[in-house]
Amino acid sequence: MSTCTQAKFRARCHTDPVGLQAQLWRAIAAFRFASLGYAAILLVVDSGDYRRLPFAWVVLAGMPAWTVATTYAYARPPAVPAVS
């Protein structure tokens, strides 16, 4: 029996699709926070170039809510019915 099939080693096994999927979702969450910071920096640096600056601030204000909501939603494992 392989160590990947044992329950206590599944989190460390790279062939476990749930473990790999969780790692990918964490990477996407990190990218969301990085892109939020990048957007904020660009808005501050290039604020003189915007035609409708208040709308840009509204969009930037909504980005943290979306980032936190999606990060939280994808952090929870999906409910999988028990197989009998």
pLDDT at 17: 56
Burial class (CB in 10 A: 0-12, 13-18, 19+), 56: middle
State residue 19's pLDDT score: 76
Give the model's pLDDT for residue 6: 56
pLDDT at residue 9, rounded to an integer = 53
Q: Is the dihedral of CA 12, 13, 15, 17 positive or negative?
A: negative
Looking at residue 21, what is its pLDDT? 78
* pLDDT of the residue at 34: 94
Residues of the chain with pLDDT under 50: none
